[in-house]
Amino acid sequence: MTAEPGTGRISWPYLSAQALHYLLFALRAQQFRCRRPMLGDRHRPVFGVAGHSVALTIDDGPHPEWTPRMLDLLDRYRVRATFFLIGDRVAEHPELARRIRDAGHLVGNHSMSHPQPFAALPARRLRTEIVAAQRRIEDAVGITPRLFRAPGGNWSPTVLRTTADLGLVPVDWTVNPSDWRSPGVDRIVRRLSRSRPGHVLLCHDGGGDRSQTVAALEAVLPRLIDRGLRFVVPGADR
């Protein structure tokens, strides 16, 4: 059995969160194979978008080096994305959060400090993480986020209930190139190139060196555009 990081203890909330984490891997694989991934509801996250479209989502920023490079790339190809921002990073770089907004992208909530496993947190801490990030983002950009993505995509009934109680739409993904691991540009390109209409793509601009992500998107975006895919924001049908 696995101990909770930093404690040496094995707790039921931690084990439950880890079990849900692996179940969600299977659910995402099933959603990837679906002709139309789920648009979500009060009890389930958004896994897909409607129409001949995809949604590009970018997590863990803003970052002083990679966010501007990502924004320049998106502007070059006229692609609109959704940036799920961490509250602590917004506090450090509020000007970048405003630049994301000014470029026409959607800003979402990705918690205040990105604790993991998120679903193992007590309900009060979950709520505090979401509310604190919501306020920080509102203060920086003057817009109230309406989308929330759990750190690590670690959902649970409590996380979903808290998200719904706060009036937020939970958003997951269907295509994950694991770019946060820096697996190599070619691998990221291959995985993103498998995207089909309805898919939600996951990428990162924070949390480390994201040069591979930027290089991969530079190759993939024109391919997806050439297929006639439109880039939309998730949760528009909720």
Catalytic residues: 59, 204
Label residue 209 exposed, middle or buried (CB < 10 Å: 0-12, 13-18, 19+): exposed
User: Around Cβ 58, how many Cβ atoms within 10 Å?
Assistant: 30
